[in-house]
Structure formats: structure tokens, C-alpha cells
Amino acid sequence: MRTDAQEPNRASLVGGGESDDQLALSTHHRLSSIQRYIQLFVRVVALHEQEQQRSSQIAFLLQWSVRLVAEHLLVYQQLSEPAQRQRLSEQLQRLQAREAKKGGL
């Protein structure tokens, strides 16, 4: 089991200025893991902000625990710097574009 010291700073994964490749190197995680985390994080934020879903509804849709959804939303609330919000906004736009091609979020 990972300790907090071993856990990468989640806010830096989605709000930092590093590229996905740089994050993978600095956190010693696979690039695909970093990208999957960011995609899921952005999906949680989109469901929360744009679809006005509650944590329990998001947990049901993603088949996650309510606690895990709450952790992601807490990280989202911690993204207070303009650069972090800008990066998240760009990621949300990419998700929306991908989902529009597929036919929905």
C-alpha cells in the first residue's frame, strides 16, 4: 500500500505546468497511467460542473466509490491558480470535443 509520501501530488498531475511525459518521469508512473488519471479527473469535473451531478451520482456513473469521487472533487477545489484553471479548462474542452465525436459525455 502506498503512503502519502509515495503518492504523487494529485493537484500537480492536473494543474501543474508539466507535460504528461514529464509527469510520468517525475512520478515514476507509466505515461498511460498519467493520461488515464487526467482523463478520469476531467470527467469527474465535467460531470460535477457541467452536468451538475452529485458525488453519489458520479460514483454510480463511473462505478467508483463516493469517497474516491470526493477526493477528486477536493483536488479540483484546490486548483486555485489561474494557470491551473486554464490547463483544466483546456483538458475539459478536449474531453468535450472527443465526446461530441462519440455522441455524448
84 or 48, higher pLDDT: 48
2-44: pLDDT as tens digits = 444 444 566 666 766 677 778 778 778 888 888 888 888 889 9
Is 94 within a domain? Answer: yes
Stated pTM of the model: 0.72
Q: In total, how many domains does the chain have?
A: 1
pLDDT, residue 19, reads: 75
Q: Distance between CA 92 and CA 64 in Å, rounded? A: 20
Which of 89, 69, 71 lies closest to 15, judged by CA? 89
Mean pLDDT to the nearest integer, 46-68: 93
Structural domain harbouring 42: 10-102
pLDDT, residue 12, reads: 62
Is 47 within a domain? Answer: yes
Is 4 within a domain? Answer: no
